Chains A and B, each alone.
Chain A
Amino acid sequence: MAQSQAYYVPHGSNWPIVGAVGLFLLMLGLSTTLNGLGFGPVLAWTGVAVVVVMLVGWFSTVIGESEGGTYNQQVDRSFRMGMTWFIISEVMFFAAFFGALFYARQMAVPWLGGESNNFFTNLLLYPGYENTWPTNGPGAIGGEYEPMAALGLPALNTAILLSSGVTITIAHHALKDNNRSVLNWGLFATFMLGFLFVTLQAYEYHHAYEAMNLKLSTGIYGSTFFMLTGFHGLHVTLGATMLVVIWVRCLKGHFTPNHHFGFEGVAWYWHFVDVVWLGLYIFVYWL
């Protein structure tokens, strides 16, 4: 690869150490909160604030450099690869929870029901317990509950998230065609759909807790359901926030038809969130 200009190597930056200290405060705060110490939440929120300041500062620098034309093709490629591998690491994070779900459904619960080499598990410890899904286990942890249906709100949410995948693709094409108003509207629609999704999800959680007695503590079913959908919801929130940032940048006239890594990075992230939801919808709600 012929390099027309040198690879940009920044010299010194304060943001990473700020970020490291922020993370430290945040983790220390969370730990002390869980230990029931009064100053815990204060520490944790301070940590969040420092991290937010760091993110704003760091990204402003990068955006400034990008708009200032500091980055050549090669730097752009670095960012793309970096984002790709970051998303892959996120996929693996979800894989752990999907793994837990599959393990529980295919192994643990059948075993508690006496399958495979666990005849005595069932006979001695849980006589009468049968392998079913959903379940809150032989101890019926969390008591009577109503499982989440696949139709209704979740189906609607699937439609919402899928259409947000369409709108962001429309926006992307518009960006490539230099059609700024379609770009801005497409992005606006995408994050609005994203926030709508989160709102509906919050409503669903509320309903689950209040009306269905389905909680995080409802045995393995509640655990896997809320952990998977919860971490997904968190990622949607993050993604939508990133979309807002990109949207503002678009309004300010950032990005060009062939130089817009920031946009694409967020778009990839959004597609990733989309795909995870599909997995969730199929394995958590439907099957």
Chain B
Amino acid sequence: MSTAAATHEHHDHHPTGIMRWLTTTNHKDIGTLYLVFSLTMFLVGGSMALVIRAELFQPGLQLVDPGFFNQMTTMHALIMVFGAIMPAFVGLANWMVPLMIGAPDMALPRLNNWSFWILPMAFSLLGMTLLFPSGAPAAGWTMYPPLVLQTGDAFPFLIFAVHLMGISSVLGAINIIVTIMNMRAPGMGLLKMPLFVWTWLITAYLLILVMPVLAGAVTMLLTDKYFGTSFFQAAGGGDPVMFQHIFWFFGHPEVYIMILPAFGVVSQVIPTFARKPLFGYDSMVYATASIAFLSFIVWAHHMFTVGMPLAGQLFFMFSTMLIAVPTGVKVFNWVATMWKGSMTFETPMLFALAFVFLFTIGGFSGLMLAIAPADLQYHDTYFVVAHFHYVLVPGAAFGIMAAVYYWLPKWTGHMYNEKLGKLHFWLSAISVNVTFFPQHFVGLAGMPRRIPDYSTQFADFNMISSVGAFVFGFSQLLFVYVIWSCARGGQKATDQVWEGAEGLEWTVPSPAPHHTFDTPPVIR
């Protein structure tokens, strides 16, 4: 295998300072931009979650007005979903996909820069609504009409911000697909690609197929509010529930968009630290593809209470339950990969293991929600909140953290502080359970979601949950510190970094030079 990347500094006339970052077309720079942006948004969105948890610390209204509470819930979710989780994965793809398939860069480097810079624009648009006298959007991230149509001045900002996020995601996804399909080094057959690349390829297809649908849905909201259309108004022959169908046709694939790349990361990390090849590579690929396919025909499991005809409810219940099968295949394959391995437990591995445990717990509650008659009880309670935070926080977010610890030495050329990394892990892993596990209980006991105040019977668990949230939140400052200090210096990382690591990315120097694989590597 060729050691790629004799560094070609000669043809680089890089602008420096801010202009470098504004105009860069380098996949590593853009990856870094995405990751830094995402971390910032994670802190901002997390701070909003802390406002929510602070108000819910005890019954009665102590801190915020109910209207503002709803703004926090809405903005928290929008920022976390579109600002933190999705861009983090795009950043990882930018950094790693070219390195993993032996490409000199992303296929469309200028477009790549554009996809990124649209994002801060979108979030400025959305974020500025917090300063409006009539406040930010407050109808939930699901934006159901007619409620969302009561939004004040923030309404068009919300719609156009969502449009921009959509444009950014679609352009990013196109770039990733083209890179994977057209830029692989000779010999890198499709079924030789690392799983992270595979999961991202499939995620990118999902993005292209559903983001435009969301754009269409919010466009109809816009015309309903300002141009007199009747899409979501029964008097004119429309139906408010129609929005929910269109939204969830986007929304359900969207939740897999947030988990598939994490599956990919975990499928890279576990074999490395188990020093054993990934079990069932092919079935992992097929399972990912099946999950993606199924995700298009299950959307109405979010809508069991809207009064769908019985046949519809039965169909969506069955199809949703089916998703447990390919997901189970993945979980079993990970366990089989560890089985009879030779494991060590560095921070990336710890996060990957916690991912497998806790995502599975989130998956189980998902399966419970899929049972339509039971969902009529669970729906819109904290049981749902517990479910999706289990799959999103120790799921998607832990996947991202595993990836960051795993590849940080490759990015910076330094080993991060393993002690602090482990501390970050244990604090996060424990507090995330303290935060979200009790939410199952209050949910089952009858506490609805999206409420700023609750009956006294729910007080104890909410208090525990709030304490957990603050511990979890502040542990993330440790994460920031570990990353920052690793970027600044530290023990020099080797090229391979991890003893069991395999793949092209570990053949280039650490830190990976600005340009890699200008001449394609040869694959066995």
Contact = CB atoms under 8 A, between A and B. Distances in A.
Contact of A103 (B14, B20, B26, B242): B242
Interface residues of B, number: 82
- Per CB-CB distance, the 10 closest pairs between chain A and chain B, nearest first, are A96-B216, A139-B235, A217-B228, A137-B237, A220-B237, A16-B114, A223-B229, A20-B117, A219-B236, A93-B212
Q: Give the interface residue-count category, chain A.
A: 35 or more
Contacts of A24: 121, 124-125, 164
Interface string B176-196: 011001110010000000000
A222 interface: yes
Interface string B221-259: 001001111110111111100100110010000000000
B213 A92 contact: yes
Looking at B117, B153, B234, B249, the one whose CB has the most chain A CB atoms below 10 A away is B234
Contacts of B167: 23
Interface stretch (B62-70, B155-163, B405-413, B486-494): B155-163
12 contacts: A11-B14, A21-B121, A82-B175, A89-B209, A94-B216, A100-B231, A100-B246, A103-B245, A137-B234, A139-B235, A216-B227, A217-B229
A68 to B, nearest CB: 16
Given A74-B182, A136-B236, A223 B213 contact: no
Nearest to A3: B520
Interface stretch (B75-83, B101-109, B377-385, B416-424): B101-109
A132 B88 CA distance: 49
Looking at A2, A16, A27, A108, the one whose CB has the most chain B CB atoms below 10 A away is A16
A93 B216 contact: yes
Contacts of A31: 125, 156-157, 160
Interface of A is mostly: helix
B104 A95 contact: no
A12 interface: yes
Interface of B is mostly: helix
Contacts of A136: 230, 236-237
Interface stretch (A109-117, A176-184, A192-200, A268-276): A109-117
Interface of A: 1-3, 6-7, 9-17, 19-21, 23-24, 27-28, 30-31, 34-35, 58, 74, 77-78, 81-82, 85-86, 88-90, 92-97, 99-100, 103-104, 107-109, 111-112, 116-117, 125, 135-139, 141-142, 215-217, 219-224, 226-227
B156 A227 contact: no
B217 interface: yes
Given A99-B213, A135-B237, A141-B228, 9 more contacts: A3-B520, A10-B109, A19-B117, A23-B164, A31-B157, A34-B226, A82-B178, A100-B231, A104-B237
